[in-house]
Structure 1
Amino acid sequence: MRGGGGGMDDDERVGHAQIPNSFGHELRACLRCRLVKTYDQFRENGCENCPFLDMDKDRDNVVSCTTANFTGIISLMDPTRSWAARWLRIGRFIPGCYTLAVSEELPEEYQGMCQDNNVQYFPPKRP
Structure 2
Amino acid sequence: MRRGGGGGGGHGGGIDDEDRVAHAQIPTSFGPELRACLRCRLVKTYDQFRENGCENCPFLEMDRENDSVVNCTTPNFTGFIPGCYTLAVSEELPEEYQGICQENNVMYVPPKRP
Fold shared by both chains (TM-score > 0.5):
yes
Tell me, yes or no, if structure 1 residue 119 matches structure 2 residue 106.
yes
- Aligned to 1:72, what secondary structure does the other structure show? strand
- 1:11 CA drift (Å): 4.1
The one-character-per-residue Cα deviations of 1:40-85 (angstroms, maximum 9, x if unpaired) are 000000000000000000110000000000000111xxxxxxxxxx
- 1:33 CA drift (Å): 0.2
Unpaired stretches in structure 2, ≥5 consecutive residues: 10-16
Tell me, yes or no, if structure 1 residue 64 matches structure 2 residue 71.
yes
Structure with max Cα Rg: 2
- Tell me the distance in 2 between the aligned counterparts of 1:35 and 1:67: 11
TM-score (norm 1): 0.75
TM-score (norm 2): 0.83
Unpaired stretches in structure 1, ≥5 consecutive residues: 3-8, 76-95
Q: How many residues align?
A: 100
Q: Indicate the residue corresponding to 2:21 in structure 1.
A: 13
Q: How do residues 39-118 of structure 1 correspond to structure 2 at under 5 angstroms?
A: 39-75=46-82, 96-118=83-105
Please, what is the CA RMSD of the aligned residues? 1.5
- Aligned to 1:29, what secondary structure does the other structure show? strand
- 1:97 CA drift (Å): 0.9
- Aligned to 2:20, what secondary structure does the other structure show? coil
Give the counterpart of 2:44 among 25, 33, 37.
37
Q: Percent identity?
A: 79
- 1:12 CA drift (Å): 1.8
The one-character-per-residue Cα deviations of 1:11-53 (angstroms, maximum 9, x if unpaired) are 4212x21000000000000000000000000000000000000
- Tell me the distance in 1 between the aligned counterparts of 2:25 and 2:35: 13
Would you identify which runs of 4 or more consecutive aligned residues in structure 1 move more than 4 Å? none
The one-character-per-residue Cα deviations of 1:79-102 (angstroms, maximum 9, x if unpaired) are xxxxxxxxxxxxxxxxx3100000
- 1:10 CA drift (Å): 3.6
